[in-house]
Amino acid sequence: MSQPDGGADDPASSLPPPPPPPVAWPEDGVLTRDWVAGLTATLDWCSRSLPADQLPAVLPAALAQRLVLAASVILHREPNLVRVDPRPDQTVVVVGDVHGQLHDVIFLLQDAGFPSEDRIFVFNGDYVDRGAWGLETFLLLLAWKVLLPNCVFLLRGNHESKYCTSVYGFEQEVIFKYKGQGPQVYRKFLRCFEDLPLATIIAGCVYTAHGGIFRGAIVVPSKRSKKGKKGNKYKASSTIDPTLMKLGSLDELLKARRTVLDPPWEGSNLIPGDVLWSDPSLEMGLSSNKERGIGLVWGPDITQQFLYTNNLKLIIRSHEGPDARDKRHDLLGMDNGYTIDHHVECGKLITLFSAPDYPQFQASEDRYNNCGAYIVLRPPDFATPVFHSFEAVKPRPAANPYYDFEEVIDSDEELNLDAMDNGSSSS
């Protein structure tokens, strides 16, 4: 297990470093590793030494928006399902939820080895909310995406949405830090969220997505009108008999419309909500996720079917931290940052969570003190996961929450479907 070095025994570590100059976009418009390293150091310094509402003095709103736009252009061109095909000399690092825990993300990148032409990173979503530095965390990962677009892959999590960010802190964080320019910056982030792909297949054998699998479209006969009009024989039904629910295909995933502010929980475009919100179970079958009110619950038989049908060996999903697993007595806890939930004939289903000591703000003094983890996939087959657990960087810099963490305890209980916006930010 990796343990961050807090440097408490080094007298020099108690001396605050001098303030960095404001971050500027490269004159030639091309990001470099040195630029990203400088951004990392600046964000770390700001989190420790600068009041949050003074962030624009070092990270101007125009710079933040330019970085978001540059990344959005790249992300928009990627399909819903990204094929990540590593070379025989590359490794792949898969990362789960990080939830605005900037210092743990910086440590993870150092511990795993920074993204490079030899090391691909796949991030499984939930970059923002709950933690105090969601803005800084997401900007840092966007910078890596712009620098290495073919070696860094960012997927969408359920918290990369208008609804979740309005409830769990990210919207208020952006507005607090950028004041009058905050709403404009926040809208840029929302547009970027819509551009994030939904899933990857790594080396042809590993499927990764934030929540998991998804249902296929059900087409049922519609009632013919008395006039017997042609061309109206079938229609998609939003009210589906659970016995008719079936597993979706990768082709259907590719065709889904992901450019929505909030994944729909009803209607015909259900695949984004399934991919972002679904949960595994030990009970057989495929059914609606009644606990969350959106997405699916699926059992080991469905995992086997998905792996077999698509010639896969692993599913790596995220979405459930120690707080969610604390309420689920059918599955293992998230103490080590990962669990193996299904072990079937064709392979395994893994839940990966990369935010240690989560959530940052807890109403109870009895903290979960969980580890985070990341997975390394190595050649030749990339199908044997190597787990790396790590502890939180301590002490965390002092920070205030951007949501009422004592009231908003758990997303399973607080989901307000009527408040979701199924439209696009451009509509």
Place of tokens 């079938």: 234
Place of tokens 């969570």: 353
Place of tokens 């819509």: 194
Are the C-beta atoms of residues 206 and 312 closer than 8 Å to each other?
yes
d(CA 382, CA 274): 26
User: Residue 129 is encoded by which pair of tokens?
Assistant: 């909310």
Which is nearest to 48 in space by CA: 134, 141, 133?
Answer: 133
Separation in Å, CA 265 to CA 319, 323, 419, 425: 17, 23, 11, 18
User: Residue 208 is encoded by which pair of tokens?
Assistant: 């990764």
- Which segments within 127-218 are labelled E, that is strand? 152-154, 199-202, 206-209
Are the C-beta atoms of residues 380 and 86 closer than 8 Å to each other?
no
Q: Please, what's the largest Cα pairwise distance for the chain? A: 87
Catalytic: 159? Answer: yes
- Return the sign of the alpha-carbon dihedral for residues 4, 369, 206, 201: negative
Any residues with CB less than 8 A from the CB of 392 and at least 6 apart, and which? Answer: 4, 101, 104, 356, 357, 372
Q: Which residues of 238-274 are buried (b: 16+ CB within 10 A; e: fewer)?
A: eebeeeebebbebeebeebebebbbbbbeeebbbbbb
Catalytic residue among 99, 159, 210, 319: 159
Helix (H, G, I), strand (E, B) or coil at 232: coil
Catalytic site positions: 159
